[in-house]
């Protein structure tokens, strides 16, 4: 395959070429590796090459699936792949090499995907930018001075830079949707329980975290969820079953949706004017497509959306880091974590079991309030982020003020996304707008638990009305 042709196809299109024998899986792998070799010296999105494993998989013969031969990557967080480490960008885990695949990784392989690398994440996935001390920053392909976002920043930068048409990502507070917004991609967060965390975990972050992907096209995201969704034995819960494959929702009429537009944060505080304008522009586009849009936002009462994000990640971090240090035969020390994460972990040391349960009860109270609001509306439309772009270095993890750090992440940079990790509802970022400087600017739609079909139908309609697939970074590689 000629070098320029690879990026003119999404994953579904590349798989069709392989199926029709117009190109081989080996040629697609070569095209992906060529791009990584040419570009990743500047982007720095890849932390663990798996090129030999990928070549062996191709040589052995790939399963016949919907994505046979398509290059793919795994985020360096949350999932295991046999024979490779999952470091979470923390030195404690550098030697933790998996002896098995996570269930979702097994499903990726059965779909025919060729896993060629691990992509970078901030330390323990606990930031909205991807600048871990262990590996250094990942750069946004649209402008190298900017962050691709986080925590799926390496995944999003890889797709935006053309290494692969979609990549595995995770989302516990916006980690799919925020980097998708900053990198001009489509990012869907599935409903709680849609994708199993088996066999190693029951849930992540008290049910706030999930796996899926970032992609250029809506149809790729839908088709990948079709192959990766579904419960495994012993799961604590599962999302409502889908009536038909999500791929069938692409191009299906969404009907006339009732959409609530919120151009502030959910407490009524202003966000950057460019972000608010992007949401209004998306609202106008939705109205032109026949949907009903009116300004409204859910009343969250006296429950702070930040409280669960203070307590739950802190206790998770304390548990995971301490257990890993003890597995290495020692206690955790001050150098094992970046300073702000060490301070965040100290919140857990001061947290009682009653405090933890109070935070979980707050999540459930927010879900009840948002659920009641979504009895009147189909979806909530907001900006994807509270700032139009994020320069590298703007989020400093070398300080010890965890409270300020949490507020920066979830009250300033991404004030809309984390709420729907707490409710468990499906949500997505759609790349409909641009900043004054020409950088991508996403808009966010969120719904109920099980609303993936509704979101995919609307996303495909928006994609057709305002195509973004061919709008790529123009930097000189």
Of 73, 75, 215, 228, which is the active-site residue?
A: 75
State how far the alpha carbon of 330 is from the alpha carbons of 89, 215, 355, in Å: 20, 41, 28
- Residue 35: both structure tokens together: 């791009």
Q: Is 73 a catalytic residue?
A: no
What per-residue string of b and e applies to 447-464 under the rule 16 or more CB within 10 Å gives b? bbbbbbbbbbbbbbbbbe
Distances (CA, A) of 139 to 7, 155, 289: 20, 11, 36
Compute φ and ψ for 408, nearest 5 degrees. -60, -45
From the candidates 73, 156, 175, 191, which is the catalytic residue? 175
Active site residue 88: no
Longest dimension (CA), the chain: 62
Side-by-side strand order, sheet with 46-49 = 46-49, 114-119, 71-75
Enumerate residues 6+ apart whose C-beta is below 8 A from 427: 177, 188, 189, 417, 420, 444, 445, 446, 447, 455
Count of alpha carbons within 13 angstroms of residue 87, beta-carbon side: 22
Q: Active-site residue among 151, 158, 217, 429?
A: 151
Place of tokens 């046999």: 82
Residue partners of 273: CB distance under 8 A and separation at least 6: none
Q: Could you confirm whether 151 is annotated as catalytic?
A: yes
**Which residues are tagged catalytic?**
75, 151, 175
């Amino acid at each position: 395959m000629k070098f320029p042709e690879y990026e003119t196809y999404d994953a579904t299109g590349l798989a069709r070429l392989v199926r029709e024998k117009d190109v081989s899986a080996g040629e697609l792998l070569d095209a992906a590796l060529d791009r990584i070799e040419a570009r990743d010296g500047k982007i720095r999105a890849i932390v663990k090459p798996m090129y030999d494993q990928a070549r062996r998989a191709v040589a052995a013969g790939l399963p016949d699936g919907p994505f046979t031969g398509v290059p793919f990557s795994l985020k360096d967080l949350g999932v295991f792949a046999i024979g490779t480490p999952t470091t979470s960008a923390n030195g404690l885990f550098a030697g933790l090499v998996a002896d098995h695949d996570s269930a979702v990784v097994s499903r990726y392989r059965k779909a025919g995907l060729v896993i060629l690398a691990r992509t970078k994440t901030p330390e323990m996935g606990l930031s909205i930018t991807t600048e871990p001390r262990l590996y250094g920053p990942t750069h946004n392909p649209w402008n190298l001075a900017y962050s691709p976002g986080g925590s799926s920043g390496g995944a999003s930068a890889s797709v935006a830079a053309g290494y692969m048409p979609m990549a595995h990502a995770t989302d516990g507070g916006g980690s799919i949707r925020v980097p998708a917004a900053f990198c001009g991609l489509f990012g869907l967060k599935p409903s709680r329980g849609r994708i199993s965390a088996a066999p190693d975990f029951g849930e992540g972050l008290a049910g706030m975290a999930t796996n899926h992907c970032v992609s250029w096209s809506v149809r790729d995201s839908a088709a990948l969820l079709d192959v990766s969704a579904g419960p495994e034995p012993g799961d604590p819960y599962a999302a409502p079953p889908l009536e038909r494959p999500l791929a069938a929702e692409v191009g299906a009429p969404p009907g006339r949706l009732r959409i609530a537009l919120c151009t502030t944060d959910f407490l009524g505080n202003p966000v950057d004017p460019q972000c608010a304008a992007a949401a209004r522009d998306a609202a106008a586009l939705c109205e032109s497509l026949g949907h009903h849009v009116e300004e409204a936002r859910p009343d969250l009462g006296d429950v702070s959306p930040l409280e669960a994000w203070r307590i739950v990640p802190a206790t998770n971090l304390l548990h995971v880091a301490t257990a890993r240090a003890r597995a290495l035969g020692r206690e955790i020390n001050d150098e094992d974590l970046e300073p702000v994460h060490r301070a965040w972990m100290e919140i857990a040391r001061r947290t009682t079991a009653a405090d933890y349960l109070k935070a979980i009860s707050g999540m459930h109270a927010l879900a009840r309030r948002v659920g009641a609001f979504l009895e009147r509306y189909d979806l909530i439309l907001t900006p994807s982020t509270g700032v139009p772009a994020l320069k590298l270095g703007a989020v400093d993890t070398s300080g010890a003020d965890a409270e300020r750090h949490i507020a920066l992440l979830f009250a300033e940079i991404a004030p809309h996304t984390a709420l729907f990790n707490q409710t468990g509802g499906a949500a997505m970022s759609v790349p409909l707008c641009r900043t004054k400087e020409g950088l991508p600017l996403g808009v966010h739609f969120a719904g109920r638990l099980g609303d993936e079909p509704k979101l995919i139908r609307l996303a495909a309609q928006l994609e057709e009305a305002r195509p973004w697939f061919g709008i790529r970074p123009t930097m000189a590689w």
